[in-house]
Amino acid sequence: MIIDWGFLLGRLSLDALPDNIVTVLGALGGLFGVLLIVGLLTVTRRWSWLWKTWITSLDPKKIGVMYLVVAGIMLLRGLADVVMMRVQQALFATNGAGPIDADMFQQVFSAHGTIMIFFVAMGIIFGLINLIVPLQIGARDVAFPLLNSISFWLFFAGMALMNVSLAVGEFSTAGWLAYPPLSGLEYSPGTGVDYWIWALQIAGIGSLLSGVNFLVTIFTMRRKGMTPMKMPIFVWSVIGSMLLVVFAFPILTATLGMLTLDRTIETHFFTSDLGGNPMMYVNLIWAWGHPEVYILALPAFGVFSEIVPVFSRKRLFGYTSMVWALMAIAVLSFTVWLHHFFTMGAGANVNAFFGIMTMIIAIPTGVKVFNWLFTMFRGRISFKTPMLWFMGFITTFTIGGVTGVLLAVPGIDFQVHNSLFLVAHFHNMIIGGVVFGAFAALAYWWPKLTGFRLHEGLGVAAFWSWLVGFVLAFGPLYILGLMGAARRLDHYDASLGWQGLFVVAGVGVMIILLGVFFQVLQLAYSIWKRDELRVGTDPWDGRTLEWSTSTPIAEYNFAALDAVEQRDAFWAMKSSHVREEATKFSDIRIPKNSGFGPGIAAVAFVGAFAVIWYMWWLAAVALVVTIVLAICAGMREDVERTITAEQVAAIEKKLWRTRRA
Amino acid sequence: MSVQEEALEEKRLLSKTSVGFWLYLMTDCLLFATLFATFAVLRDATAGGPAGRDIYEMPLVLAETLILLTSSFACGLALIAMTQKNIRQVLIGLGVTFVLGATFLFIEVSEFTKLISEGHGPQTSAFLSAFFTLVGTHGLHVFIGLLWLSVLAYTIWRRGITSKLTRQLTLFGLFWHFLDLIWIFVFTVVYMMGVVR
Ligand code: HEM
Ligand SMILES: [Cu+2]
């Protein structure tokens, strides 16, 4: 009997390897990077160190750092995609030649959008939340440490899947939201859309679990005395964001699930025949997608609301209205999704409703802007890098907001829908808001986490490069959009006279890259000169609890858990001079390391890869292993270890002494 | 740790896990809400294939409903027995829950296979895609519930009723009742409203 072993590999064959020179170089570059890291780890014998102190760690501070590292690397990859698009549009788009063909151009913008939203912006947000929230609420940990690790590793697995598509197979050509019927089986029979689906599905489930985890953390683990209205405003912004995660991500999960069914067992949810309804998909994906924007933006607002008071040396103006604004934005963000497809034929009244709802969101956002400005008013402002990023944010974000309100008018939207005007608008919000927010947060909290500052001059240089580059890169897109340039064009006619503006935009990207270069340099230089840049536990004269503990921070965060009496708890402690180092300690229990997170994520990766390539037997194996792992994770016993009071005393003594030295 | 601290810790754990589990249930609710919305939109998109009233077998569906509700009742009894630390009754209650749940699933799977063998599979029309997916997702949840239930029963049998198992059993109870609730909606929206129209 002859058995056909072909089923083992599904549709995977040597054809899956890239043949286009640009992709080959990209894939080789990635492979080389991975090999380099693996080699370095092996040569320096760091594997067990890596496994014990990072990979299996359940410490949210470590997990947060890992999120940020992944997001940073993905930012570089996303930028590489941008460079390709910009080179193509500035130099080759009018004569048809050039290194990038239409199919590849589509893969590039799809990959750029997907990576930037899911693996850069989301990574930044979850990284910051992991690092800062437990500290700010004065807790020692998150509610479910193992779940937290699983979330991170699922995020990692999604990221890995996304990047593997560079070397094995192809990526989606259907844009970052993969509208059907283009993303259906009929028009995208390859593996690209499947990679997109599974990268998002796996990372998305990780986000969902994180959402639950952090809500429970904030609801149940706050320091004694920290009533809701005494919480730091960043924590409120995280509540808003995580509520949105919990409400919106299930919609994404279900929608991607249905698209998967359409593509694998050929159901007809979103096909254009047999009753399928592609518009259903567009509605569902934006019912998740619009809240997603605020999932990213709210924590950035929170970051700035922490930074502005500290660097203005004043209390936050209008704390209560800030809280209400955050919550109002969170609720309203579920009522506007249709503004993404005004042109798709819902009646005038429907469009008017969603247009007005969209404009209403500008009100709470305006409240926030004025609160920040009033906080600065008559403050003693010091323009350190975090504050510079804030200034950059407030200007770009306001411009983005104004163009957003323009787009919310259905009549105007009919003109500029799907044009570069829109692309300029959302980058204004997302770069000005989320990315600048992340850079501000990094500069602000870096000394708390490491014990030394980042070099100020290089930070300032990076800021100005980013700001100038940003204006040059996206200003022309507004004009181009008004001139009629559609988004996602790999090609246009020379007679349109667009090329000049595209060249300017390309120059803008180069200046942004210069900014990134300064940032990398800043990190490297600051780490190198860390002794000169060393600072104490509270370098900015902070107001919230994270600044009250030692630097570096002990794995249990706080040795003693004194009750909180006021908002700006640490500020209150400092000004009433009640702050003294604890002398009496008690035992602290912290979770033991666990390999379940990386394990489950590895299995998810394999399972998804198998489904993408139709290796059904492997998918089945992965499913069974997942179930077994889940059962084992549920049956774990003895998951904590104790740090005794004496050990705590010794650790504290050492940590606080390093500060004084 | 002193006994007092131990008790406090246990209370804290219980509140954390139950808040977390309620939130999880809410996310699951939204997942179903999405599928229900899709079903509502695609219900009439039969594309020349059968409509709901042509294929539903209401007596069987009614039986399914009663079986699932009874299994929830048995699960409730098991939870009461748990508070009295009566291991035997807990196990009996869980056993009955399992058998009824499995019967429910069996009926559902045979309904599905019958439809598919008659050529009314999920590929036939958008309506059937939505039908199979919505009902099937509920069935998948029941299946996962059965797995969870078996593991719990096994550990209770081996280790007795520890505080951790008490917690997990409470959560399982929530889950099982939740599936009931979803089924009531499936019964009403998918089946009842399907035959009435
Ligand atoms: C840092 C500098 C960045 C530059 C220069 C840049 C540039 C671009 C360009 C040129 C496009 C394609 C426009 C077209 O359709 O012709 C694009 C699309 C897009 N970008 Fe960016 N981008 C940047 C950062 C980001 C960030 C940080 C995010 C999100 C967090 C983001 C999200 C997106 C999305 C979602 C798309 C749409 C992709 C699609 O059409 O499917 N970008 N960007
Ligand atoms: Cu929107």
Q: What is the mean pLDDT of residues A170-180?
A: 94
Residue given tokens 């750029």 in the structure block: A112
Q: Residue A591's beta-bridge partner residues?
A: A640
**Phi, psi of A172, deg, nearest 5:** -60, 145
Q: Which tokens go with A165? A: 């598509």
- What's the pLDDT score for residue A15? 81
- Please tell me which residue of chain A has the smallest CA distance to B144: A627
Lowest mean pLDDT among A8-17, A215-224, B99-108: A8-17
Q: Check residue B186 and give its pLDDT.
A: 97
Over residues A242-279, the pLDDT tens digits come to 999 999 999 999 999 999 999 999 999 999 999 999 99
Q: Which two tokens stand for residue A273?
A: 């025949």
Q: Closest by alpha carbon to A188, among A90, A242, A290, A107?
A: A107
Q: What is the reported pLDDT for A581?
A: 62
Ligand 1 centroid, distance to A122 Cα (angstroms): 15
Q: What letter would DSSP give residue A590?
A: E
Q: Which amino acid is at A274?
A: L
The Cα A546–Cα A542 span in angstroms is 8
Does A406 score more than 90 pLDDT? Answer: yes
Q: How far apart are CA B175 and CA B173, in angstroms?
A: 5
A276 touches chain B (CB under 8 A): yes
Q: Which of A579, A441, A367 is nearest to A128 (CA)?
A: A441
- Within 10 angstroms of residue A573's Cβ, the number of other Cβ atoms is 18
pLDDT at A298 over 50: yes
Interface test with A, best of B5, B16, B155 (most A CBs within 10 A): B16
CB contact under 8 A, B28 and A267: no
The residue behind tokens 């399982």 is: B172
Q: Is any Cβ of chain A less than 8 angstroms from the Cβ of B123?
A: yes
State which residue of chain A sits closest to B36, comparing Cα positions.
A254
Residues 15-54 of B with CB under 8 A from A: 15-16, 19-20, 23-24, 26-31, 33-35, 37-38, 41-42, 45-47, 49
Using the atom order of ligand 1, give the atom closest to the CA of residue A505: 5
pLDDT digits (tens, 9 = 90+) for A580-598: 566 778 889 899 999 999 9
pLDDT tens for A357-394 read 999 999 999 999 999 999 999 999 999 999 999 999 99
pLDDT of amino acid B140: 97
Specify which residues A641 forms β-bridges with. Answer: A590
Check if B146 contacts A (Cβ < 8 Å): no
Q: Is A275 at the interface with chain B, CB within 8 A?
A: yes
What is this structure's pTM? 0.96
CA of A133 to the centre of ligand 2 (A): 27
Per-residue confidence band for A578, with pLDDT thresholds at 50, 70 and 90? low
Helix axes A278-312, A122-136, angle to 10 degrees: 50
Q: Does A255 touch chain B (CB under 8 A)?
A: yes
Q: Which ligand is nearest to the CA of A292?
A: 2
Residue A589: phi, psi to the nearest 5? Answer: -105, 130
Task: State how far the Cα of A81 lies from the Cα of A71, in Å rounded to an integer.
Answer: 15
CA of B53: how far to CAs of A87, A393, B58, B190, in Å? 59, 58, 9, 10
Three-state DSSP at A641 gives: strand
If you write DSSP's letter for every residue of B88-148 in order, what string do you get? HHHHHHHHHHHHHHHHHHHHHHHHHHHHHHTT--TTS-HHHHHHHHHHHHHHHHHHHHHHH
**From the CA of A262, how many Å to the nearest CA of chain B?**
9
Task: Please write down the long-range contacts of A353-362, taking CB distance under 8 Å and 24 or more positions apart.
Answer: A355/A408, A355/A409, A355/A410, A357/A332, A358/A404, A358/A405, A358/A408, A359/A405, A359/A408, A360/A332, A361/A329, A361/A332, A361/A333, A361/A336, A362/A401, A362/A404, A362/A405
* pLDDT at residue A586, as a whole number: 86
Among A215, A269, A631, the residue with its CB nearest the CB of B130 is A269
Determine contact, residues B74/B97, Cβ cutoff 8 Å.
yes
Taking the C-alpha atoms of residue A358 and residue B69, their distance in angstroms, rounded to an integer, is 44
Through-space distance between the first and last CA atoms of chain B, rounded to whole angstroms: 64
Pocket test for ligand 1, best of A75, A81, A82 (most atoms within 8 A of CB): A82
Q: Residues 207-236, chain A: which have Cβ within 8 Å of B?
A: 208, 211-213, 215-216, 219-221
Instruction: Give the DSSP letter of residue A555.
Output: T
What is d(CA A16, CA A192) in angstroms, rounded to the nearest whole number?
11
Q: How far apart are CA A434 and CA A123, in angstroms?
A: 11
| Domain locations along chain A | 7-312, 380-535
The radius of gyration computed from the CA coordinates of chain B, to the nearest angstrom, equals: 19
When comparing pLDDT for A634 and A503, which is higher? A503
- Contacts of residue A76, defined as CB under 8 A and 6 or more positions apart, other chains included, come to A516
Structural domains in chain B plus CATH codes:
3-196 (1.20.120.80)
Residue identifier of the C-alpha nearest atom 4 of ligand 1: A82
Q: Tell which atom from ligand 1 comes closest to the C-alpha of A175.
A: 41
Q: Do B38 and A258 count as a contact with CB atoms less than 8 A apart?
A: yes
A385-407 helix and A420-429 helix, angle to the nearest 10 degrees: 140
Phi and psi torsions of A452, nearest 5° = -140, 155
pLDDT tens digit sequence for A460-490: 999 999 999 999 999 999 999 999 999 999 8
Place of tokens 């549709």: A11
Tokens of A328: 């109002």
Q: Does residue A345 register a pLDDT over 60?
A: yes
The CA distance from A88 to A22, in Å, is 12
Residues in contact with ligand 1 by the CB-under-6-Å rule are A 79, 82, 85-86, 109-110, 112-113, 116-117, 120-121, 175-176, 423, 427, 430-431, 435, 473, 487-489, 509, 512
- Say whether pLDDT at A660 is over 80: no
Q: Pick from B34, B124, B147: which is nearest to A255 by CB?
A: B34
Compare all CA atoms of chain B with the CA of A265 and give the residue at the minimum distance: B123
Chain B 160-179, CB below 8 Å of chain A: which residues? 164, 168
Percentage of chain A lying above the pLDDT 90 cut: 78
Q: Please state the rounded mean pLDDT for residues A650-658.
A: 81
Closest residue (by CA) to atom 20 of ligand 1? A113
Residues in chain B: 197
Residue B131 contacts A where some CB pair is shorter than 8 Å = no
pLDDT at A167: 87
Show the low-confidence residues of chain B (pLDDT under 50): none
Ligand 1 centre distance from Cα of residue A176 (Å): 10
User: Which of A143, A254, A273 minimises the CB distance to B34?
Assistant: A254
Is A561 touching B (CB cutoff 8 A)? no
Cα(A443)–Cα(A523) distance, rounded to whole angstroms? Answer: 10
Comparing A344 with B112, the larger pLDDT belongs to B112
Under CATH, what is the fold of the domain A7-312? Answer: Cytochrome C Oxidase; Chain A (1.20.210)
Question: Could you say which DSSP state residue A546 is in?
Answer: G
For A220, the closest chain B residue by CA position comes to B16
Do the beta carbons of residue A107 and residue A170 sit within 8 Å? yes
| Partner-chain residue, chosen from B1, B31, B45, that has the shortest CB–CB distance to A254 | B31
* Token reading at A588: 């602290």
pLDDT for residue A661: 42
Asked whether the beta carbons of B60 and B103 are under 8 A apart, the reply is: no
The whole-angstrom separation of Cα B136 and Cα B114 is 14
Which of A76, A104, A423 to mutate for ligand 1's pocket (most ligand atoms within 8 Å of CB)?
A: A423
List the single residue in A with minimal CA-CA distance to B33.
A251
**How many whole angstroms from A336 Cα to the centroid of ligand 2?**
6
The SS3 call for residue A640 is strand
Mean pLDDT of A571-588: 76
Cβ of residue A408 closer than 8 Å to a chain B Cβ? no
Query: In the prediction, which pLDDT does A279 show?
Result: 94
Least Cα separation, residue A143 to chain B (angstroms) = 7
What does the pLDDT look like over A68-88, one tens digit per residue? 999 999 999 999 999 999 999
What chain B residue is nearest to A218 in terms of C-alpha separation?
Answer: B16
Instruction: Quote the ligand 2 centre to A124 CA distance (angstroms).
Output: 21
DSSP string, B34-84: HHHHHHHHHTT--TTS--HHHH--HHHHHHHHHHHHHHHHHHHHHHHHHHT
Residue A641 burial class via C-beta count within 10 angstroms: exposed 0-12, middle 13-18, buried 19 and up:
exposed
Q: Is residue A658 over pLDDT 70?
A: no
For residue A174, report the distance from its CA to the centre of ligand 2, in Å.
Answer: 19
